[in-house]
Structure 1
């Protein structure tokens, strides 16, 4: 059994109230859309049949109008031939066809009025269907966003991630200790070949000593000469 039972139920329905009272709005909006689409197909099919019926009635009306003209012509012909009895019979027949035609025209007017009302209902139904589909897209996007946020939060607050990170930290600390032990073995030791910094420092020291030595030799020589 559908959510709606008649076209008027859909046209007069309050979509907000339906969704507000639903346990699962996303599922409910999908059911509403399906019901609207099915009803729209049914209403259009009914409109096609009604239009066909109107066209058939209009053809019958045109046929009757031709019959009226024909009985009128026969009545005039009978009068010209002094056959008043036949003229009166032809006029009576024309009058009967006229009455039937007027009844059909009233029926056509009712059909046209029904089609106009049906057209208004279809327009309202299409507007509600468009609104429902728009809401369905919005609900789908909200559901996807909420599911994504839920998964992210679950990952953030998952204790297994914390345990894994703690294990990483333990491994890093163990590696730091190993690297520290390796570097400790080099403390206090010099490599067999001096570094560039050490060689330049030694060169500067040798030059200073050589200059000071030459200066000392000159002073000693000067003292000997003065003596």
Structure 2
């Protein structure tokens, strides 16, 4: 097979595949049905034309038959008048008309045979068209049912083109959501650990600790200043704390004396017994 032949074969196969995918069987059936109806209409039109032609010949035949009667009467009248010459002419015309009538009869008979044949074919074609129409409607119903069932099956299984696109979109959305959730969790972890501040700041850890210490000292100094302005220094608080410590020591000494007294009583009881 030459290059051109192979190329032609490939092109025809591609075109045939495209046509198969683009072809709608229901539309093809409807088109075939309409073509058959057109053919039936043409047959009916042919029968009508043939019948019209036959009617014209029949009309012409009736006129010739009327002329035959006329010439026959003329011949009789000529014989009555002893005009044999006129009678002969009338009979000759009569014979010519009868020959034409005979020829018309044969033509009318042929047209009638043709008409009968066309009517029979028309009836057969019409019967086939009705049969085809029944099969067409049945096939269309089966095709539409199969197509609907196929769409439902594809939708249920997710293998259809649209469902596949939906599935891919869902997968992309899920991947994007996982990515955003992971990114958000990572940012939260960085913010809690302070790593994000380290990244955003150009100071090292020592500078940040020193700065925090200076900030605390400034806050403490400002707090003392505020207390002094309001008449609440830290001295009374220290004295109260010292008094509280003295009270605790006194209570402890009293407890110790009571314990020693009880021990002494126990010793005396043992010695007396």
Common fold: TM-score over 0.5: yes
| 1:30-68 deviation line (CA, Å, top 9, x unaligned) | 332121111111111121121111111111111111100
Q: What is the distance in 2 between the residues matched to 1:56 and 1:149?
A: 61
Task: Provide the rounded CA distance (Å) in 2 between the counterparts of 1:39 and 1:147.
Answer: 31
Checking the alignment, whether the CA contact within 8 Å between 1:29 and 1:132 is kept in structure 2 is no
| Greater helix proportion | 2
SS in 1 for 2:82: coil
Corresponding residue for 1:61? 61
Tell me what 1:185 maps to.
Answer: none
Aligned ranges for residues 62-81 of structure 1 at < 5 Å? Answer: 62-81=62-81
SS in 1 for 2:99: helix
**Gaps in structure 2 of 5+ consecutive residues:** 1-19, 159-163, 175-273
Equivalence map 1:163-182=2 (5 Å):
none
Alignment partners' CA distance in 2, 1:29 and 1:58: 43
Aligned to 1:136: 136
Q: RMSD of aligned C-alpha atoms?
A: 2.4
Tell me the residue number matched to 2:247: none
Flag structure 1 segments of 5+ consecutive residues without an equivalent: 1-22, 168-227
Higher mean C-alpha displacement, 52-61 vs 26-35: 26-35
Q: TM-score when scaled to structure 1?
A: 0.58
Ranked by relative contact order (alpha carbons within 8 Å, sequence separation 6 or more), the top structure is 1
- CA–CA separation in structure 1 for the residues paired with 2:155 and 2:26: 26
- Residue 51 (structure 2) aligns with: 51
Residue 85 of structure 1 aligns to a residue whose secondary structure is: helix
Q: How many residues of Structure 1 are paired with residues of Structure 2 in the alignment?
A: 143
Residue 42 of structure 1 corresponds to which residue in structure 2?
42
Aligned: 1:99 with 2:99: yes
Deviation, 1:122, is: 0.6
Check the 8 A contact 1:36/1:129 in 2, yes or no.
yes
Report if the CA contact (8 A) 1:43-1:122 is conserved: yes
Larger CA deviation: 25-34 vs 130-139: 25-34
What corresponds to 1:117 in structure 2? Answer: 117
Is residue 2:164 matched to residue 1:152?
no
Displacement over 2 Å in runs of 4+: 23-32
d(CA) in 1 for partners of 2:87 and 2:147? 88
Aligned to 2:32: 32
Distance 2:152 2:28 in 1: 27
Give the deviation of 1:147 after TM superposition: 1.2
Post-superposition shift, 1:152?
Answer: 1.7
Name the SS of the counterpart of 1:82 in structure 2: coil
Q: Distance in 1 between matches of 2:57 and 2:79?
A: 33
Aligned partners of 2:27, 2:148: CA distance in 1, in Å?
Answer: 19
Shift of 1:153: 1.1
